[in-house]
Amino acid sequence: MYGSYSQFPIKLIKFVSLLKFFVSLNDDVAADCLLWRNKKISSSVLTAATILWVLFEWLNYNFLTLLCFALVLGMLVQFLWTNASGLLNSDRKPSRAPYFVVPEDFFVNIATMVGAEVNRGLRFLQDIARGGNLKQFLIVVVSLWAGAVIGSWCNFLTVMYIGFVAAHTLPVLYEKYEDEVDNFVYKVLHQMQHNYRKVDAGFLGKIPKGKFNGNKYE
């Protein structure tokens, strides 16, 4: 009954280590940023995310307003760069400000990654819905309901910001306090497993475990 659930503590404890290993293999810049090996990059990224969150959440700016301000600022910088260089160096041609170009692959990679994760989540939900296991179905429904309640407390941007901050703090904290975190997680998950057994014995155990196909009528 608890075969897959008993492996949950091990999976959770190894998750951050797997994250660090995966990131370090695929993108050294991302690994340095998440694990704070390059403090300037990490602090700059986290500061930029915090500024954006404050602008959108606390100061109630919208995306179009910030986009227009950013474009105006960029044009102003290029205008001053080009004209000021001509005034300071009258004997030479004014230097041209460099063009800012976003690589096309940048958007393609983001769309591909997001699409793959969305399809994976939809496939998981549909497998649960079509599997006929009423217990798993109810657990997923309750989990989604809990997510909806949490979403009523804060908006999507705040949830994304919390996840972003967690991604920049949990890996480095785990790397520094790995033994302490392992012991704490084992204790917490052991208590969760004990509580789950009580719920399963009292309520979930009464739910039919076979596939729910319904009755056929002629």
- The answer to whether residues 59 and 65 touch, using CB atoms and an 8 Å cutoff, is no
Does residue 36 lie in a domain region?
A: yes
* Number of CB atoms found within 10 A of residue 201's CB: 11
Does residue 77 lie in a domain region?
A: no
| Whole-angstrom distance, CA of residue 211 vs CA of residue 112 | 35
**pLDDT (tens digit, 9 = 90+) per residue, 100-140?**
887 878 778 888 888 988 999 899 999 989 887 887 888 88
Handedness of CA 16, 20, 21, 22 (dihedral sign): positive
Domain tally, the chain: 1
Does residue 93 lie in a domain region?
A: no
Does residue 25 lie in a domain region?
A: yes
Range(s) of the domain holding residue 53 = 12-60
Q: Which two tokens stand for residue 52?
A: 């954006």
Q: Which two tokens stand for residue 187?
A: 């204790």
Does residue 205 lie in a domain region?
A: no
**pLDDT (tens digit, 9 = 90+) per residue, 1-60?**
444 444 444 555 555 555 555 455 455 666 677 778 778 888 888 899 999 889 888 888
Angle, helices 39-53 vs 156-176, to 10°: value is: 160
Whether residue 63 is predicted with pLDDT greater than 80 in this model: the reply is: yes
Does residue 68 lie in a domain region?
A: no
DSSP 36: T
Does residue 186 lie in a domain region?
A: no
Does residue 67 lie in a domain region?
A: no
DSSP bridge partners of 133: 211
